[in-house]
Structures are given as structure tokens and as C-alpha cells.
């Protein structure tokens, strides 16, 4: 009974973290920390896995309908899914994303069952050198795959790096562009960057279009799951490719499914461009499927180093590891091995829940927005995003700082609204892992840091 | 659907709040900073149910110190050696509470001794550590990293320190074979401690001071508590009572070599201790 309650709480936590920008899975673990410490270790691991799995489903729904990225990994869904939504194809975007995610989750489980005996090969592969190659490769994909001119992409990538570099650097003890302001020591927070550079320009463009749009165009009419599964056979190449990319990228320490989502998305974008099937700002179903498929495959595979070898490879897993160890338990493979079967069942159940409720949730939203002029929905989203920014800031006791950062970056977002800002955002997110992996390589080969 | 989601949210709220129902009436906040699963986060979670107030975690010590100086609520402020020393030595006092008239120090809470560890039966033993070219994963924080490098230099100049963001990343690299040893204040039971700066409870591990005269051979990871709007003596007593009787703390910290050391020291004494440690880390 207790385990069922924990499972339900994990579904709720995953739903909330998927829908609310800035409330990631780590935040959910911290909020629930005291309660989790009272649970059986199996329940703690299950809570983490289930919540993370479900958050991926709901993140893509919020991104597609409202242009709100619940998670960093939902940003490709925002770009492609919301563009499809504006074209009246939101139903397809949501159903393909949910169904593709479900297929990827099941495939990840099947791949793992086949590869369990050799699974250590994957995580042992990702040393600092391989991580650096992947990160540089991903950056190149992003710079080449975004729709702006090459020099604009390079400038935007540089801007992202610059923004991420502001603050105090633990490793060098130096500060950059802090001007003695205490909040700037913590750097520029992600939430106002995403809102100012991605969400607001998207909302501005959507708002203009919604004034001229017939309300009927945005009303969703969902196909059945059976039909969607059947239709997905047309995208089997995308599904296979992205599941494999997402699954393998899930083993990259510190980056896991976020890296997998970016790589799969940009690989698909380049393929679609070559086929001349990618049209800017129109939304592309294979790109959306690629991103959503990869993140769910990665959610499962990122757990495997912890479950099979007792190795935490993300900050959240490190926290789970600590929670277990604090009970005097050695979180080794011997400890986790008997849990894998039940955890896999919980993961599959959570995927089924995500598949059906994410669609149902979209239906609920659908029934509400049919009664409202959609331009008011965009205005509402803009107000909600301001609120989210304020609340995210107040969580760090810096609500006015967050608002100032948002205000400071908004002109950039508005002026560059016709540009694809993804190079800037990804540089902002990936700059630390890139810098960190190169620092380690230099330390290994030259002994200097 | 709304009812279903609401029920889920309520159940989550109820379940998570149930465990925190037994709160003390002190209503003291805990202010800290740092990464996920880190020492401050975990310690704050352990202290909070007995103190009753909120946990306020910031990204950097500058932000937390700034908040602590301005809060009107009774609060305990967690600070660590790494951040503290750097700012003290550089003359930048944004992170320290040593200034005249600033918050009083009430306690040195933990003193976890530092350990070199390796995968069991991997052949990465003390002999290899002292003679071969090997790689040791160390937390990338400036003082900790420089201190480790200095100590390694004194033991075996061929050792290379490799910086990682946190303990999880060090373990992943150790298992992947990128490094042969890790450096930590809280060794995991599944790994073998090869060398330690404190032999208590470390079995057959070699003792650092037997291999080098460096002032760092007895180095420790220390963190401090300051009090804001609370009588220092009372704060000190309460912290000691909670941590000495707490099972979770015992398992995570005391068993890992942490001890609640200095009950109540004067500001001058604290400053002297810190300056000595700083010199040991940076001047060696």
C-alpha cells in the first residue's frame, strides 16, 4: 500500500515538474527530502524514476500548447510542437510526442534487458575525452543546424557563452562581470534567459498570428492512440535513430537525456533539411518526434549506471544515492540488482500513465480554450511566465533580481525575435560541461588546470 | 480530469508534509549555499525538523552571507572552509563573518578528514599511489583542489589531480578508469580507503603524515556555523544536541570521520584557526 502511495506521489510530482518551468526533478527531490528520508530505499529510487519519466510527457504538452518549456529538454518541443499547434496540427504534435515517447521508453527497457550483461561498456565509454568530443560535436550540430546564417549562429553561441560566464567561478576563485553585486556572483539564472530569449519572442509571434486566426484552427481533435501508433510506422527511421541516440546519450555523466534530446533533434533537423522537408517556423513532426523520443529513452538509460553499478551520474542521482547511504546501506550493484525488475515495471506503468494522461490533459486544455479567444491565452501565458519568473526567483530569495535579468534580456529577445535563438540557449546550458571537460583533459595530459 | 490531478497534488502535498509535522517551536531558519546533495543541503535537512524554520539555500556564499546579514529572523548560517578562506585571503570579505560587528560564530560543526580511495582489488594501492604516474579525482573548488595538488606534490610528484564538479562525477570517472583514485571527506563503503589524513576507523589505510611532512598531512574539511539574531551560546548548545543525537547525521557524517568539535570559540580563536588552515592550503 505504501509503495502505491509513493507511486501516486511520484506521478503527481512528475506532472507538476513537467508543467512548471524551472521546477525540475531535483527541486522535487529537495522539496520531498524529509518525507523521502522516511521511505524504504526502493521507494526512494522508484519515486525518482517515475517522477522523471512522467515529467517528460507533461513538459512537451505545455510546450506545444502554450509555448511554455516545462523542462530544458522540452525546448525543441516548444519550437516544433508550438509551430505545429499554430498551424492547427497540435493534435498530431501531442499525440506523436506522447506515443513516440512511450515507444522509446519501452524500447529502452527492451534494449537494456538484452544488453544488461554488457551495460558497463556504455558508461565506461564516456570519459572526459569522449564527453568533450560529444559536446563539441553537439555544438557544431547546433551551429550548423539552426536556421540563421552561420555567422549569426556563431555570434548567438558566443552570446550564450558570455551570459553563462557571468558570475563567480568556483574552480578559479575569479569573478566575471559581477560589479560587486552579490546576486551576480551566482550568475545569470536559466529561467529568465529562457523566458526572454525563447518564450517571449515565440508568444509575440503567436499573438500576432492569433489575432488573424480563426478560433477553429487551434481546436484540437485527437486521433485515437491506435491510429497514432499505426501512423508512426511512417517515422520508424526517426524513432529508431532517436531512441538509440537518446539511450546512449543517457549514459553521459551530468548531461544524460538533455544532451540526447539536443543531439537527436539537431541530427533530425539536418536530415530533414537535406530532404528539403524542413520549413522554418512551420513545425516539423520528425524533429519533434526525435526530441521527445530521445529524452524518454535517456530517462531510463541514465538510471542504469546507478542501478547496475551503484554509480550516480547526475546531481539528482547523487542525492538519491546519499539518501540511501544515510541509512547505513551500501548503494552498490548488489543492493540495486533485486530492485531492477520492479523499478522497470514502475517505469512502464508511469509511461502508460504519461501516454494517456498527457493526451487527456491536452484534451482538458482543449475544452477550455475553445471557449476563449486564443490571443487572451497568449496574454495569459505572458503573465504566467512573469509570475513563474518571480516565483522561481523568490525560491532563491532573488525575485527582483530575476525580474531585472528578465527585463534586461527582453530587448535582446524582442530585437532578435526573427532569429533562431537556440544556439544562444544551448551555449548557455552547455558552456559549463564543455569548459569542465576540457579542463579535465588538460589536467590529465598536461597536469595544469 | 481536474479532480484527478487535484487529488494527485493533494496526495503529494499530504504525504510530503506528514513527515515534517513534528516541528520544534524555535522557528530558526537555516541559511546555506552549494550544490545538490552536498554537505550543507544534507545537514540543513537534518537540522530543520528540530529547528522549525525554513531552509534557505543559495547558489554562492556571497548571496547567502548577504541574506544572512539582512534577515530579521533567528537563523543559523552554514559556511565552509573553501569559500571562506579564499575570500579572507583575498581581502574580499563578502563571504566572511569575521568582520568586527558582524555575525558571531557559534560552532565548528564538522571536521571530516580527507581520504584517498580506490576501487577494491583494482591493484590501485598505496605502493602505486606513491610511485607511479596516477590520476586522482578531486572536487574542483579552488582551495580544496590546490590543497590536494600541494599534498600530492609532496607525496609523489607524478600524481596528477583532475578536477570534477562533485563526488558523483569522481565516482563515474573512477569506475570508467579515467582516474585511479578519488579524494573525499566521506568515503563510500564500497571503495577501499588507500590513504587518510586521520586513521580512526580507516582500517589498514596508510596515514598521510607517514609519507610527507607537508602541513597538509592532517588537513580536514571543516564547516562553520554563524548565528543571526540568536544568542550564540544557545545556538551552539542546540546544534550540538541535535547533531549528537541524530541517527541520520551519525550514519552520514560521524561514521565518516566527522565530529562536532569546537563547542563555542571566540571570534579571535576562530579567525586564528582559519588563517592557519588557509596558510597550510595556499602557502605550502
Return d(Cα A152, Cα B9) in angstroms, integer.
44
Q: Which of B169, B187, B246, B256 to mutate to test the interface with A (most CBs of A within 10 A)?
A: B169
| pLDDT attached to residue B2 | 44
| pLDDT attached to residue A50 | 93
Within 10 angstroms of residue B271's Cβ, the number of other Cβ atoms is 15
| pLDDT attached to residue B129 | 95
pLDDT (average), residues B240-251: 76
> Shortest CB distance from A168 goes to which of B17, B37, B62?
B62
SS3 of B53, please? strand
Mean pLDDT of chain B: 78
Asked if A167's CB is within 8 angstroms of B172's CB, the reply is: no
User: Residue B284: is its pLDDT beyond 50?
Assistant: no
Cell of B205: 589505510
pLDDT (average), residues B208-235: 83
Return d(Cα B137, Cα A7) in angstroms, integer.
37
| pLDDT attached to residue B38 | 65
B12 pLDDT band, cuts 50/70/90, is: very low
Closest C-alpha among A79, A83, A82, A63 to residue A71: A63
Chain B neighbors of A447, CB-CB under 8 A: 160
pLDDT (average), residues B17-35: 67
Q: Which of A182, A356, A361 to mutate to test the interface with B (most CBs of B within 10 A)?
A: A182
Asked if A315's CB is within 8 angstroms of B36's CB, the reply is: yes
- Helices A75-84 and A285-301, interaxial angle, to 10°? 150
Classify residue A259 as exposed, middle or buried by CB count within 10 Å of its CB (0-12, 13-18, 19+): buried
Highest mean pLDDT among A328-342, B115-129, B195-209: B115-129
Q: Answer yes or no: are the C-beta atoms of A196 and A204 closer than 8 Å.
A: no
Strand order in the sheet with B191-196: B160-164, B135-139, B181-184, B115-119, B191-196, B206-207
Placement of cell 538533455 in the chain: A258
Asked if B11's CB is within 8 angstroms of A12's CB, the reply is: yes
Cell of A336: 540495486
Asked if B169's CB is within 8 angstroms of A254's CB, the reply is: yes
Within 10 angstroms of residue A109's Cβ, the number of other Cβ atoms is 18
| pLDDT attached to residue B264 | 59
| Segment (H or E) for A264 | helix A256-274
Residues 241..270 of B with a Cβ closer than 8 Å to A: which? 248, 251-252, 255
Q: Answer yes or no: are the C-beta atoms of A57 and A264 closer than 8 Å.
A: no
| Span of B95-109, B163-177, B189-203 with lowest mean pLDDT | B95-109
pLDDT (average), residues B31-55: 79
Chain B closest CA to A127's CA: distance in Å? Answer: 6
Measured between alpha carbons, how far apart are the two ends of chain A, in Å? 52
> Shortest CB distance from B9 goes to which of A16, A328, A444?
A16
| pLDDT attached to residue A278 | 87
Sequence-ordered strand ranges (E) for A57-198: 167-168, 175-176
pLDDT (average), residues B241-258: 72
Radius of gyration of chain A (CA): 21
Which residue has better confidence, B147 or A325?
Answer: B147
Angstrom distances, CA of residue A362 to CA of A139, A187, A220, A222, A325: 33, 35, 8, 9, 40
Asked if A436's CB is within 8 angstroms of B140's CB, the reply is: yes
DSSP conformation letters of B218-268: G-EEEEEEEEESS-HHHHHHHHHHHHHH-HHHHHHTGGGT-----SS--HH
Q: Answer yes or no: are the C-beta atoms of A194 and A388 closer than 8 Å.
A: no
Sequence-ordered strand ranges (E) for A219-374: none
Asked if A128's CB is within 8 angstroms of B59's CB, the reply is: no
SS3 of A92, please? helix
Residues 129..168 of B with a Cβ closer than 8 Å to A: which? 135, 140-142, 145, 160-168
- Which residue does chain A place closest to B22, by CA atoms? A34
> Shortest CB distance from B67 goes to which of A173, A309, A397?
A397
B17 pLDDT band, cuts 50/70/90, is: very low
Chain A contact for B122 (CB, 8 A cutoff): no
| pLDDT attached to residue A407 | 95
Asked if A5's CB is within 8 angstroms of B11's CB, the reply is: yes
Asked if A31's CB is within 8 angstroms of B168's CB, the reply is: no
Asked if A26's CB is within 8 angstroms of B168's CB, the reply is: no
Cell of B66: 548577504
Q: Which of B16, B73, B139, B182 to mutate to test the interface with A (most CBs of A within 10 A)?
A: B16
Return d(Cα A253, Cα A123) in angstroms, integer.
8
This complex has an ipTM of 0.77
> Shortest CB distance from A322 goes to which of B37, B48, B172?
B37
Chain A contact for B273 (CB, 8 A cutoff): no
Asked if B94's CB is within 8 angstroms of A311's CB, the reply is: no
Asked if A396's CB is within 8 angstroms of B58's CB, the reply is: yes
Chain B neighbors of A326, CB-CB under 8 A: 42, 248, 251-252
> Shortest CB distance from A185 goes to which of B35, B62, B135?
B62
B67: left (phi over 0), alpha (psi -120 to 50) or beta: alpha
Return d(Cα B253, Cα B257) in angstroms, integer.
7
User: Residue B4: is its pLDDT beyond 50?
Assistant: no
Return d(Cα A410, Cα B239) in angstroms, integer.
45
Q: How do the pLDDT tens digits run along chain A, 449 residues long?
A: 688 999 999 999 888 888 776 667 777 777 777 788 788 888 999 999 999 889 888 888 888 887 877 667 778 888 898 888 888 888 888 888 889 999 999 999 998 888 777 777 766 777 888 888 888 888 888 888 787 899 999 999 999 999 999 998 877 778 899 887 888 888 898 889 988 998 888 788 777 766 555 555 555 666 677 888 888 889 999 999 999 999 998 888 777 888 889 899 999 999 998 998 888 888 899 999 999 999 899 988 988 888 877 777 776 787 788 777 766 677 777 788 788 888 999 999 999 988 888 776 677 766 666 677 767 777 887 888 888 888 878 877 788 999 999 999 999 999 998 888 888 988 888 888 889 889 999 999 987 76
Q: Answer yes or no: are the C-beta atoms of B139 and B262 closer than 8 Å.
A: no
DSSP B185: S
| Span of A116-120, A197-201, B268-272, B278-282 with lowest mean pLDDT | B278-282
Residues 166..225 of B with a Cβ closer than 8 Å to A: which? 166-169, 171-173, 175-178, 188-190
Amino acid at each position: 500500500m505504501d509503495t502505491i502511495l509513493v507511486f501516486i506521489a511520484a506521478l503527481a510530482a512528475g506532472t507538476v515538474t513537467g508543467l512548471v518551468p524551472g521546477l525540475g526533478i531535483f527541486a522535487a527531490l529537495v522539496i520531498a527530502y524529509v518525507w523521502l528520508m522516511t521511505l524504504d530505499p526502493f521507494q526512494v529510487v522508484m519515486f525518482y524514476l517515475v517522477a522523471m519519466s512522467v515529467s517528460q510527457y507533461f513538459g512537451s504538452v505545455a510546450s506545444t500548447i502554450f509555448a511554455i518549456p516545462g523542462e530544458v529538454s522540452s525546448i525543441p518541443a516548444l519550437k516544433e510542437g508550438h509551430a505545429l499547434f499554430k498551424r492547427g496540427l497540435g493534435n498530431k504534435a501531442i499525440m506523436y510526442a506522447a506515443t513516440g515517447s512511450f515507444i522509446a521508453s519501452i524500447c529502452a527497457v527492451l534494449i537494456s534487458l538484452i544488453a544488461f550483461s554488457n551495460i558497463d561498456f556504455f558508461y565506461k565509454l564516456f570519459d572526459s575525452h569522449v564527453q568533450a568530443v560529444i559536446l563539441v560535436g553537439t555544438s557544431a550540430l547546433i551551429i550548423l543546424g539552426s536556421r540563421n546564417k552561420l555567422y549569426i549562429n556563431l555570434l548567438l553561441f558566443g552570446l550564450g557563452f558570455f551570459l553563462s560566464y557571468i558570475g563567480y567561478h568556483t574552480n578559479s576563485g575569479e569573478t566575471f562581470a559581477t560589479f560587486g553585486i552579490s546576486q551576480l556572483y551566482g550568475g545569470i539564472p536559466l529561467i529568465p534567459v529562457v523566458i526572454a530569449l525563447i518564450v517571449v519572442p515565440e508568444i509575440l509571434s503567436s499573438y500576432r498570428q492569433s489575432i488573424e486566426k480563426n478560433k477553429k484552427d487551434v481546436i484540437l481533435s485527437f486521433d485515437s492512440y491506435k491510429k497514432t501508433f499505426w501512423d508512426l510506422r511512417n517515422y520508424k527511421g526517426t524513432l529508431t535513430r532517436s531512441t538509440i541516440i537518446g539511450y546512449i546519450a543517457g549514459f553521459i555523466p551530468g548531461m544524460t537525456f538533455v544532451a540526447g534530446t539536443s543531439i537527436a533533434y539537431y541530427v533530425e533537423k539536418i536530415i530533414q533539411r537535406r530532404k528539403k522537408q524542413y520549413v522554418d517556423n512551420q513545425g516539423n513532426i520528425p524533429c519533434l518526434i526525435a526530441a521527445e523520443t530521445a529524452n524518454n529513452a535517456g530517462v531510463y538509460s541514465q538510471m542504469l549506471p546507478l542501478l547496475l553499478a551503484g554509480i550516480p551520474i547526475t546531481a539528482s542521482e547523487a542525492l538519491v544515492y546519499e539518501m540511501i547511504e544515510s541509512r547505513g546501506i551500501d548503494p552498490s550493484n548488489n543492493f540495486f540488482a533485486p530492485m531492477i525488475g520492479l523499478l522497470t515495471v514502475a517505469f512502464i506503468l508511469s509511461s502508460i500513465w504519461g501516454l494517456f494522461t498527457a493526451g487527456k490533459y491536452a484534451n482538458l486544455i482543449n475544452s477550455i480554450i475553445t471557449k476563449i479567444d486564443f490571443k487572451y491565452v497568449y496574454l495569459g501565458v505572458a503573465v504566467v511566465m512573469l509570475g513563474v519568473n518571480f516565483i522561481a526567483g523568490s525560491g532563491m530569495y532573488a525575485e527582483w533580481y530575476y525580474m531585472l535579468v528578465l527585463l534586461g534580456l527582453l530587448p535582446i529577445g524582442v530585437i532578435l525575435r526573427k532569429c533562431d535563438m537556440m544556439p544562444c540557449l544551448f551555449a548557455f546550458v552547455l558552456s559549463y560541461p564543455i569548459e569542465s571537460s576540457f579542463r579535465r583533459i588538460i589536467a590529465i595530459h598536461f597536469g595544469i588546470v | 480530469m481536474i479532480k484527478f490531478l487535484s487529488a494527485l497534488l493533494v496526495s503529494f502535498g499530504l504525504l510530503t508534509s506528514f513527515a515534517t509535522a513534528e516541528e520544534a517551536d524555535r522557528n530558526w531558519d537555516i541559511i546555506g549555499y552549494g550544490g545538490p546533495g552536498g554537505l550543507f543541503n544534507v545537514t540543513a535537512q537534518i537540522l530543520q525538523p528540530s529547528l522549525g524554520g525554513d531552509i534557505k539555500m543559495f547558489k554562492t556564499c556571497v548571496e547567502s552571507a548577504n541574506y544572512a546579514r539582512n534577515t530579521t529572523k533567528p537563523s543559523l548560517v552554514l559556511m565552509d572552509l573553501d569559500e571562506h578562506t579564499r575570500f579572507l585571503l583575498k581581502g574580499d570579505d563578502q563571504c566572511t563573518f569575521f568582520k568586527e560587528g558582524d555575525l558571531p560564530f557559534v560552532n565548528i560543526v564538522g571536521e571530516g578528514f580527507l581520504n584517498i580511495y580506490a576501487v577494491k582489488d583494482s591493484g590501485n594501492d598505496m605502493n602505486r599511489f606513491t610511485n607511479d604516474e596516477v590520476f586522482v579525482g578531486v572536487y574542483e573548488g579552488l582551495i580544496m583542489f590546490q590543497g590536494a595538488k600541494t599534498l600530492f606534490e609532496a607525496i609523489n610528484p607524478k600524481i596528477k589531480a583532475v578536477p570534477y564538479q562533485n563526488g558523483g562525477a569522481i565516482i563515474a570517472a573512477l569506475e570508467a578508469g579515467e582516474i585511479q583514485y578519488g579524494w573525499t571527506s566521506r568515503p563510500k563503503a564500497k571503495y577501499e580507503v588507500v590513504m587518510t589524513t586521520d586513521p580512526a576507523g580507516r582500517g589498514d589505510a596508510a596515514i598521510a603524515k607517514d609519507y610527507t611532512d607537508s602541513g597538509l598531512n592532517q588537513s580536514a574539511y571543516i564547516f562553520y556555523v554563524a548565528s543571526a539574531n540568536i544568542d550564540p551560546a544557545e545556538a551552539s548548545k542546540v546544534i550540538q544536541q541535535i547533531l549528537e543525537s541524530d541517527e541520520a547525521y551519525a550514519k552520514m557524517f560521524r561514521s565518516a570521520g566527522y565530529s562536532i568539535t569546537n563547542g563555542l570559540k571566540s571570534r579571535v580563536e576562530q579567525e586564528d584557526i582559519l588563517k592557519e588552515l588557509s596558510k597550510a592550503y595556499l602557502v605550502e
